Amino acid sequence: MTATLTNQPTIALLGQPNSGKSTLFNGLTGARQRVGNWPGKTVEKKEGHYDRNGLRYRVVDLPGSYSLSANSEEEIITRDYIASGQADVVCILADSSQLSRSLFMLADYAGMECPAILLLNLMDIAESQGKSVDAEKLEKKLGIPIVPFVAADRKKYDVFYAAVERALDEKKLVNADSLLENFHTIENGVFEKLLELLPNEGLESYSAHWLAIKLIEGDIAILEKIKSTLSEDNYRQIQSILSSIKNGALHTGGCKFKWVDELLSDTFVKKQERPLLSKFDRLATHRRFGKPLAILIILLGLVASFIPAAPIMFAGGLIPKLGEPIANALSAISAPQMLTDFINHVILNTLYFAVAMIGFVFGVNLVFGFLEEIGYMARVSYVFDGTMAKLGLQGKAVMPLVVSFGCTIGGAAGTRVIDSWAQRVLTIALAWVVPCAATWAIVPVLSSLFFGAWAPLIIVAIFLVAGIHMMITAKVFGSKLIRDEDRAGLIMELPPYHKPRWKALFRSIFVRTWDILSRALKVILIVSTVFWLLTYSASGSPDKTLLYRFGRAIEPATIIFGFTWQTFLAYLASMLSKEAALGVLGTLYLGAGTLFSATVGSGGEMAAGLSSVLLTSLTPPTALAFIFAVTFNAPCLMAITSTYQETRSLKWTLRILGYYFATSLILAFLAYHIASLIF
């Protein structure tokens, strides 16, 4: 040791990042600090001092490091400094709020032949979490001074000063007897074999057992360091032993954590969590019951989404009623008829659809945002892991699928975390099944219009069909793409349950809802205008328009699938964007007033509300066919582009696109014919 006790004892502060080391260093030294670099390194070196009882104590703040391995420059500097013997006492800081984790440093330190004290820092936080430590008992086990401590509270530093003085006086090392017992259990007796070959006295401040453990961990720097102290034969034997060890860090790490667990087994107490919440969580994450519970909660959530949606949807329904007063007002100022038609049939329809659909978007965001906010949705993704496996997906595919509820584009982009290309393609293919936010914008509007109070049942049916669709799609694509060995195990750390932060929740809901509303307004307006112009006839004879003639020509084929020619065109438009389907429907059915008459032949009136026109023009089976077709059609043009970008395969993008086009027609066909038997 270079420093003597009577002269200037040196205290080295050792701890993992965020253990409170810097707080203690600043608390001890105040303005008496020097900052520089460690010799030949870019790592910052901080030194300072404090005076007490006529002695000047030098304090060295060692770089924050997780352990004393050679994983980083900081770790090497730290252990080399301690081994050099420059410190008279090492003060190890542990975060009391997470002792299992932070005492690993102590386990890694055990075997260093330098006196130490253990500071159980952040004790205030640990206590607030219901944790307590029996420091006296722990001290008996470890043999070094143990100090429950709060580095931020300088008024209580006396316990620290006293512990340092004791450590300097008694010069006790960490008692590692039980840790050594654990090391002896490492398979094939490699620990003993290495101990026999290493110098008994160790090297510098490293004990022989510390060196042996680092060698088992594959620490090249230590192997190089001891090379000069060994005979050629011993060195060769050590190399031979080391080459037989596989994943040595697993064995030594296991021994160290076991030791920490043993230390804490009767010295650490944690207050139990609230039993009610804990019971619910057991059920929510149960392998067998978690899934039905999740399904039940999701279904109830969807039904509940209609409650906040209802008044908004009702308000949307009032918008078309403005048509007559607006038409009268425009007529009074002799506005052109085309302008009146445009406002009545394009602008008001756009507003009607946009406002009506946003009600459910708001409701869904509110209910599911709440479930996400309190931490439940993370459990849903966990319990459905088994389903992921059945679909041939990796566990981590769950997040892209969850994101797809918001937007398929986000889901496709989220598959980048999946390493296997085949798994990525399959995940994207399945993400297309997940109804995105835009789907939830239009389906409830139409379901409520045609099925009234039964609308929630349609939503439930869509979910059931989506589940079956996923299974079939996984079989269709998975057989060509997936091998069982592609699936890796995962660990999920589920977020704790907590009270919702209402302000953040509502801010997020309003942002999302506004985003969807503004996009819907734009898309519906543009599509409605284009289709309105295509069907507008100043002569009042829309049957002369190209679109009308084309529609009439294809209708014998489309009706097989349950489509009128108008709903078929709306279905095709939904491939560009789901909202576009509403624009097309609105324009084609209300058109310039006369198109509806020409199509339906019942003398549709200009002032007729779109909802009543749709109810007159479509039967429940055709409406249901349309709802299913649009829901399970390709999500949107951007999602198709994004699929191509993520898969980098035109072939697979077209396959997925073709598959969804075909399956959505089949589903429309089934929905139409089954509904025809019922209604």
Q: Does residue number 209 form part of the binding site for other proteins (CB under 8 A)?
A: no
In the complex, minimum distance from the CB of residue 42 to other proteins, in angstroms, rounded to a whole number: 21
Question: Rounded to an integer, what distance in angstroms lies between the CA atom of residue 25 and that of residue 23?
Answer: 5
Q: Does residue number 645 form part of the binding site for other proteins (CB under 8 A)?
A: yes
In the complex, minimum distance from the CB of residue 551 to other proteins, in angstroms, rounded to a whole number: 31
Q: Which of 3, 5, 322, 399 binds other proteins (CB under 8 A)?
A: 399
Q: Does residue number 100 form part of the binding site for other proteins (CB under 8 A)?
A: yes
Q: Which residues, in sequence order, are CB contacts of 211 under 8 Å at separation 6+?
A: 194, 198, 202, 203, 222, 226
Backbone torsion region of residue 130, taken as left when φ is above 0, otherwise alpha when ψ lies between -120 and 50, otherwise beta: left
Q: Which residues, in sequence order, are CB contacts of 457 under 8 Å at separation 6+?
A: 451
Region of 40-48, 386-394, 619-627, 670-678 interacting with other proteins (CB under 8 A): 386-394
Q: With respect to other proteins, which residue has the nearer C-beta, 23 or 508?
A: 508
Q: Which of 222, 431, 438, 675 binds other proteins (CB under 8 A)?
A: 438
Q: With respect to other proteins, which residue has the nearer C-beta, 37 or 645?
A: 645
CA 620-621-626 angle, 5° bins: 95
Q: Does residue number 495 form part of the binding site for other proteins (CB under 8 A)?
A: yes
Q: Does residue number 294 form part of the binding site for other proteins (CB under 8 A)?
A: no
Q: Which residues, in sequence order, are CB contacts of 37 under 8 Å at separation 6+?
A: 43, 44, 45
Please list, residue by residue across 151-160, b when 16 or more beta carbons sit within 10 angstroms of its beta carbon and e when fewer do: beeeeebeeb
Region of 433-441, 446-454, 580-588, 611-619 interacting with other proteins (CB under 8 A): 433-441
Site for other proteins in 509-538 (CB under 8 A): 511-512, 515-516, 518-519
Q: Which of 461, 492, 530, 600 binds other proteins (CB under 8 A)?
A: 492
CA nearest 441: which of 316, 298, 310, 578? 578
Site for other proteins in 446-485 (CB under 8 A): 484-485
Q: Which of 226, 304, 407, 623 binds other proteins (CB under 8 A)?
A: 407
Give the gyration radius of the chain's Cα atoms: 36
Question: Rounded to an integer, what distance in angstroms lies between the CA atom of residue 151 and that of residue 195?
Answer: 39
Q: Does residue number 247 form part of the binding site for other proteins (CB under 8 A)?
A: yes
Q: With respect to other proteins, which residue has the nearer C-beta, 195 or 361?
A: 361
Q: Which of 395, 435, 478, 591 binds other proteins (CB under 8 A)?
A: 395
Q: Does residue number 655 form part of the binding site for other proteins (CB under 8 A)?
A: no
CA nearest 553: which of 533, 534, 568, 531? 568
Question: Rounded to an integer, what distance in angstroms lies between the CA atom of residue 212 and that of residue 471?
Answer: 53
Site for other proteins in 59-88 (CB under 8 A): 66-67, 71
Q: Does residue number 617 form part of the binding site for other proteins (CB under 8 A)?
A: no
Q: With respect to other proteins, which residue has the nearer C-beta, 101 or 225?
A: 101
Q: Which residues, in sequence order, are CB contacts of 200 under 8 Å at separation 6+?
A: 208
Q: Does residue number 508 form part of the binding site for other proteins (CB under 8 A)?
A: yes
Site for other proteins in 252-281 (CB under 8 A): 253-254, 257-258, 260-261, 270, 281
Q: Does residue number 403 form part of the binding site for other proteins (CB under 8 A)?
A: yes
Residue for token pair 């949705």:
377
Q: With respect to other proteins, which residue has the nearer C-beta, 197 or 393?
A: 393
Q: Does residue number 629 form part of the binding site for other proteins (CB under 8 A)?
A: no
Q: Which of 377, 391, 425, 657 binds other proteins (CB under 8 A)?
A: 377
Region of 82-90, 398-406, 552-560, 619-627 interacting with other proteins (CB under 8 A): 398-406
Q: Read out DSSP for 234-247?
A: HHHHHHHHHHT-SS
In the complex, minimum distance from the CB of residue 426 to other proteins, in angstroms, rounded to a whole number: 15
The count of chain residues that interact with other proteins, using the rule CB under 8 A, is: 77
Cβ contact 2:12 at 8 Å:
no
Token pair of 344, please? 């009545």
Q: With respect to other proteins, which residue has the nearer C-beta, 453 or 491?
A: 491
What is the separation, in whole angstroms, between the first and last Cα of the chain? 94
CA 329 to chain centroid, in Å, comes to 54
13 DSSP β-pair partners = 61, 91
Q: Does residue number 673 form part of the binding site for other proteins (CB under 8 A)?
A: no
Q: With respect to other proteins, which residue has the nearer C-beta, 176 or 383?
A: 383
Site for other proteins in 411-430 (CB under 8 A): 411-414, 416-417
Compute the Cα dihedral for 280, 285, 291, 297 and give only its sign.
positive
Token pair of 222, please? 């230590």
